[in-house]
């Protein structure tokens, strides 16, 4: 069997490895020819994927990358793993999914299975992608080729659950489509969970991430309530989590990032509004999480004011650009909003991140492209008026930060075990 995987990012490339390890020949497609070239040179561009893993599969003839979609015709199954971001107006942007469907349609062959893994609003697979594929191929979904939906469940940096043990939701346009997709996924996972229709599977993915967004928002709002009361919100969470039932711990922070939590709930609320329903809780959670960088900025401004340092003359260091610890993924990181707030107020802003040596030209922060992480030295760290901890990377020498920094604003409670020597520590 040969599987084609369209989109070689944080979802597509791990899937290539998973199928390759299972003995399936994986053919990766991406329009970014630089990514294609790196894979074929056995070079990984994702931190938690070792180049040696790529090399082993390429040498075994079970992995290859290309930018030529015509090679789709060689595959028995095709997975679509392309981005589904928001547009400039904050609405779902499905261009990558739809253009991928349009481009691969001419190469669909009899009996092929096409599976969408990208996060979409309910109905997208059956009502829109299906039409695009049928029009472009002249074939009928459910008769000439199988069409299915299986939401991705990648979590970069998390190692305790591997892909084999992770339950995989699978739905099909018809029962036969689902059967073909289930048979396909059983090659790489021990647990397949069958959904009755594609729209239920699409909605399940949105619920998973809306759940996280709402609970993170609750933790963030609790922080906003506890702060003026002089209550340590992190101690409150630790106390509450001792309850063995009815509570799951979520922690506050400077906001949310990544390609899921800030985006997926919007796909749900947007689709709901089309049907005259307002997802009030989901939208409120998004508003709270989006506003957290502003809270951190105001807290830092108070700290600088107490130190008699004008914001316009301040040197600010943001610690962490990646949206979560242990990864190099900076998509949607609240650190970019923090940098914007400080720069707009006239401060000089730099960042340090051991996993992001330079900022790439991503959506929403193209003006920062090429900006590099500072060096980690006592002299450099001490030169900043305030250091704002945005990402709690395990690789950072936190005690050194406590010894060197003039002032620390900690949004992750990472400094709790360490005793700052040089200056003040403020939780935010």
pLDDT at residue 163 in the model: 60
Q: Looking at 146, 179, 196, which one is the last position of a domain? A: 196
Mean pLDDT, residues 362-390:
93
pLDDT at residue 424 in the model: 87
What is the torsional sign of CA 153, 130, 74, 76? positive
pLDDT at residue 128 in the model: 98
Q: C-alpha angle 169/175/176, rounded to 5°?
A: 105
Structure tokens given for 19: 């199928």
Are 34 and 179 in a shared domain? yes
CATH number (domain holding residue 137): 3.40.50.720
Are 166 and 21 in a shared domain? yes
Tens digits of per-residue pLDDT, 148-203?
Answer: 999 999 877 665 445 667 899 999 999 999 999 999 999 999 899 999 999 999 99
Let me know if residue 261 belongs to a domain.
no
Let me know if residue 242 belongs to a domain.
no
Mean pLDDT, residues 25-47:
95
Tens digits of per-residue pLDDT, 216-259?
Answer: 999 999 999 999 999 999 999 999 999 999 999 999 999 999 98
407 is catalytic: no
* Element (DSSP H or E) covering residue 306: helix 280-306
Let me know if residue 57 belongs to a domain.
yes
Question: Could you give phi then psi for residue 257, rounded to 5 degrees?
Answer: -145, -165
What is the CB neighbour count within 10 angstroms for residue 313? 11
| Catalytic-role residue among 16, 75, 96, 260 | 260
Residue of 208, 204, 390, 219 whose CA lies nearest to 289: 219
Q: Structurally, how many domains does the chain consist of? A: 2
Pairwise CA distance, residues 321 & 333, whole Å:
7
Q: Looking at 164, 196, 228, which one is the last position of a domain? A: 196
Let me know if residue 202 belongs to a domain.
no
Helix, strand, coil percentages in the chain from 3-state DSSP, rounded to 5: 40, 15, 45
Pairwise CA distance, residues 259 & 187, whole Å:
27
Structure tokens given for 96: 């990558």
pLDDT band at residue 361, thresholds of 50, 70 and 90? confident
Minimum mean pLDDT range among 104-113, 234-243, 366-375, 416-425 = 416-425
Are 311 and 180 in a shared domain? no
Tens digits of per-residue pLDDT, 54-99?
Answer: 999 999 999 999 999 999 999 999 999 999 999 989 999 999 999 9
* DSSP calls for 4-73: EEE--STTHHHHHHHHHHTTPEEEEE-S-HHHHHHHHTT---STTS-HHHHHHHHHTT-EEEES-GGGGG
Pairwise CA distance, residues 162 & 150, whole Å:
17
Let me know if residue 349 belongs to a domain.
yes
Q: Is the pLDDT of residue 340 over 80?
A: yes
Instruction: Report yes or no: 3 and 73 within 8 Å, Cβ to Cβ.
Output: no
Let me know if residue 393 belongs to a domain.
yes
Please give the residue range of the domain that contains residue 70. Answer: 2-196
pLDDT band at residue 422, thresholds of 50, 70 and 90? low
Instruction: Report yes or no: 119 and 260 within 8 Å, Cβ to Cβ.
Output: yes
Q: Is the pLDDT of residue 384 over 70?
A: yes
Let me know if residue 84 belongs to a domain.
yes
Structure tokens given for 160: 């305790």
Are 191 and 302 in a shared domain? no
Q: Looking at 196, 211, 233, which one is the last position of a domain? A: 196
* Element (DSSP H or E) covering residue 25: strand 25-29
Provide the 3-class DSSP secondary structure of residue 16. helix
Q: Is the pLDDT of residue 43 over 60?
A: yes
Are 301 and 171 in a shared domain? no
Let me know if residue 157 belongs to a domain.
yes
* DSSP calls for 251-293: ---S---SSSTTTHHHHHHHHHHHTT---HHHHHHHHHHHHHH
pLDDT at residue 129 in the model: 98
Tens digits of per-residue pLDDT, 57-69?
Answer: 999 999 999 999 9
Q: What average pLDDT is seen over the chain?
A: 95
Residues 6+ away with beta carbon under 8 Å from 54: 17, 39, 42, 43, 44, 63
Residue of 282, 304, 310 whose CA lies nearest to 428: 304
pLDDT at residue 164 in the model: 67
pLDDT band at residue 275, thresholds of 50, 70 and 90? very high
Are 327 and 183 in a shared domain? no
């Amino acid at each position: 069997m040969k599987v084609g995987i369209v989109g070689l990012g944080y979802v597509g490339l791990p899937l290539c490895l998973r199928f390759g390890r299972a003995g399936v020949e994986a053919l990766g497609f991406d329009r970014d020819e630089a990514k294609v070239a790196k894979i074929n040179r056995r070079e990984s561009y994702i931190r938690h994927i070792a180049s040696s893993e790529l090399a082993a599969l390429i040498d075994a003839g079970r992995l290859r990358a290309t930018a030529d979609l015509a090679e789709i015709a060689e595959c028995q199954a095709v997975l679509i793993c392309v981005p589904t971001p928001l547009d400039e107006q904050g609405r779902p942007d499905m261009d990558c999914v739809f253009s991928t469907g349009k481009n691969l349609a001419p190469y669909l062959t009899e009996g092929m299975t096409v599976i969408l893994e990208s996060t979409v609003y309910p109905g997208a697979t059956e009502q829109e992608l299906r039409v695009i594929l049928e029009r472009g191929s002249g074939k009928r979904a459910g008769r000439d080729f199988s069409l299915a939906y299986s939401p991705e469940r990648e979590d970069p940096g998390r190692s305790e659950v591997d892909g084999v043990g992770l339950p995989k939701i699978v739905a099909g346009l018809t029962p036969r489509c689902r059967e073909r997709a289930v048979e396909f996924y059983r090659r790489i996972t021990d647990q397949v969970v069958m959904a009755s229709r594609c729209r239920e599977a699409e909605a399940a993915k949105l619920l998973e991430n809306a759940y996280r967004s709402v609970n993170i928002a609750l933790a963030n709002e609790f922080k906003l309530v506890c702060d003026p009361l002089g209550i340590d919100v992190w101690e409150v969470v630790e106390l509450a989590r001792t309850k063995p039932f009815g509570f799951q711990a979520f922690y506050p922070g400077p906001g949310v990032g990544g390609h899921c939590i800030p985006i997926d709930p919007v796909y749900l609320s947007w689709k709901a509004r089309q049907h005259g329903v307002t997802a009030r809780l989901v939208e409120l959670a998004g508003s709270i999480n989006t506003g957290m960088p502003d809270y951190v900025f105001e807290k830092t401004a108070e700290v600088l004011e107490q130190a008699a340092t004008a914001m316009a003359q301040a040197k600010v260091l943001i610690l962490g650009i990646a949206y979560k610890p242990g990864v190099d993924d900076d998509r949607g990181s609240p650190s970019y909003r923090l940098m914007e707030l400080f720069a707009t107020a006239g401060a000089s802003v730099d960042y340090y991140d051991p996993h992001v040596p330079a900022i790439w030209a991503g959506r929403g922060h193209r003006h920062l492209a090429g900006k590099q992480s500072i060096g980690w030295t006592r002299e450099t760290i001490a030169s900043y008026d305030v250091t704002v901890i945005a990402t709690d990377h395990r690789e950072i020498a936190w005690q050194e930060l406590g010894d060197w920094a003039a002032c620390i604003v900690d949004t992750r409670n990472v400094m709790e075990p360490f005793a700052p020597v040089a200056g003040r520590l403020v939780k935010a």
